[in-house]
Amino acid sequence: MSEKKFYLRGLIRWASVAILLTLLLVGLLYRGPQLRAGYYYQKGLAAAENGDWPNAFLSFWTVYELVPEYKDVRQHLDQSLAETLPRIPEGVNLRTEIQIIRWLSNGSEFEELVQVLERCMVVIPAGEFTMGDDSGPVDARPQRRVALDAFAMDRYEVTNLQYQRFIQVTHTEPPRYWDGMQYPDGQADFPVVGVGWSQADTYCRWAGKRLPSEAEWEKACRGTDGRIYPWGGQWNPEKANVGLSGTQLWPESLEDGWKLLLTPPGAGKPGLKPVGSYPAGASFYEVLDLSGNASEWVVDWYNWDGYANLPDHNPIGLGPPWNRVLRGSSWFVQRGQESGTEKMSRCATRNSSHTFSDPRVGFRCARSIP
């Protein structure tokens, strides 16, 4: 056999192998989602058989994301969701709870979504914790041990959907960035902002709850292990929606903030995000978004001279009646104020306002436990 023929045969052989491998790879890429869907489908069936409906929901949701038309997955998904909803929050882990909220919001299942959000309250047991920061501003001193009675707090900030139900019943004026009674499209599970203290207080009472005290908010944030931030002792802007990571557009004023609320979040642009978008930033008690998204009203009046004159048991600032206290950092900072974000994200940092309407400010509710 000539050297030329030998070379050609070898070339043909390797070309055939390459074509076969390419076809095999294409087949695997095509079959990959089907194979993974089949695995999670069986996993979902097994979980449902054992009555583990939260894990059944997660498995069938994964199947639906991979191959929406896979067998009867939508039927199983709906059944597992119906079985899981009554178990929220005690019988459902945080990951599953957040995924259910996303599923209901994206599917416009608003009746169920409101019920889930209203039930998602975290019990904070009675006891002492460390409040304040001796290394911080004067208004956060002195650091001391404070005792609180048991209470419950919303895991998530009050959303647009929840607030819409409230204004429809009470005829309260909607936030200025809404179109009448309608929040921006696709933002049912976004925190409502631009709400004044009196509106936040009225909403909580209407819902059978109340605004948390400043001390309750701080305990929910830092727990009993003296955390600096909700998630621990090290600053990490990736664990909160603070408008820093990858941001190219810095708002010049609060008016820029109102404009940003009307446009979907995107690369290089700060924006509100759905509640619970940063589970890695959960607090000691798994309360979410205590840093970032919306700054939050609490019930206290702000005092300039710190905590020295407040009691050590269930303290509430009763005056002077000028500004109400705000806690937590927000979804954007104005140009030139970026360096203050880390400080504002600390659990012990205080702020205040008497503004009726601010695009950075929202709230969550609490409830006393007898």
Domain boundaries, the chain: 23-85, 126-368
- Contact indicator for 148, 316 with CB cutoff of 8 Å: no
At residue 170, φ and ψ (nearest 5 deg) are -95, -10
Give the number of C-alpha atoms closer than 13 A to the C-alpha of residue 333, restricted to the C-beta side. 22
H-helix or E-strand spanning residue 146 = strand 144-148
- Contact indicator for 294, 362 with CB cutoff of 8 Å: yes
Name the residue type at position 273.
Answer: K
Name the residue type at position 264.
Answer: P
Neighbours of 195 (CB within 10 A): 26
At residue 326, φ and ψ (nearest 5 deg) are -115, 145
Reading the block at residue 243, the tokens are 């408008």
Of 303, 319, 300, nearest to 211 (Cα)?
Answer: 300
Per-residue pLDDT for the chain (370 aa), expressed as one digit of tens each? 555 554 555 555 665 555 655 544 544 444 678 888 889 999 999 999 999 999 999 999 999 999 999 889 999 999 999 999 999 999 999 999 999 999 999 999 999 999 999 999 999 999 999 999 999 899 999 999 999 999 999 999 999 999 999 999 999 999 999 999 999 999 999 999 999 999 999 999 999 999 999 999 999 999 999 999 999 999 999 999 997 665 556 667 888 889 889 876 665 678 899 999 999 999 999 999 999 999 999 999 999 889 988 999 999 999 899 999 999 999 987 765 666 789 999 999 999 998 888 999 999 999 999 8
What does the DSSP 8-state code read for residue 182?
A: B
Name the residue type at position 341.
Answer: T
- Distant-in-sequence contacts of 97-102, Cβ < 8 A, 24+ apart: 97/155, 97/276, 98/276, 98/279, 99/57, 99/58, 99/61, 100/57, 101/156, 101/189, 101/274, 101/275, 101/276, 102/189, 102/274
CA pair distance 279, 221, nearest whole angstrom: 14
b/e map 64-85, b = 16+ CB within 10 Å? bebbeebeebeebbebbbebbb
Task: Answer yes or no: pTM beyond 0.85.
Answer: yes
Residue in the block written with tokens 């939260």:
54
CA pair distance 265, 135, nearest whole angstrom: 36
Q: What was the pLDDT predicted at 106?
A: 94
CA pair distance 230, 320, nearest whole angstrom: 29
Q: What was the pLDDT predicted at 33?
A: 83
Distances (CA, A) of 184 to 31, 158, 159, 261: 39, 15, 12, 8
Using CA atoms of 44, 49, 55, 58 in order, give the dihedral in degrees to the nearest 10.
Answer: 30
CA pair distance 347, 224, nearest whole angstrom: 12
Q: What is the DSSP string of 203-254?
A: HHHHTT-BPPPHHHHHHHHHTTTT-SBTTBSS--GGGS--S-TT-----SSH
Which CATH number applies to 126-368: 3.40.50.450, 3.90.1580.10, 2.40.30.20, 3.40.190.10? 3.90.1580.10
CA pair distance 157, 172, nearest whole angstrom: 19
Helix-, strand-, coil-residue percentages of the chain, each rounded to 5: 40, 15, 45
Q: What was the pLDDT predicted at 354?
A: 84
Q: What is the CA radius of gyration of the chain?
A: 26
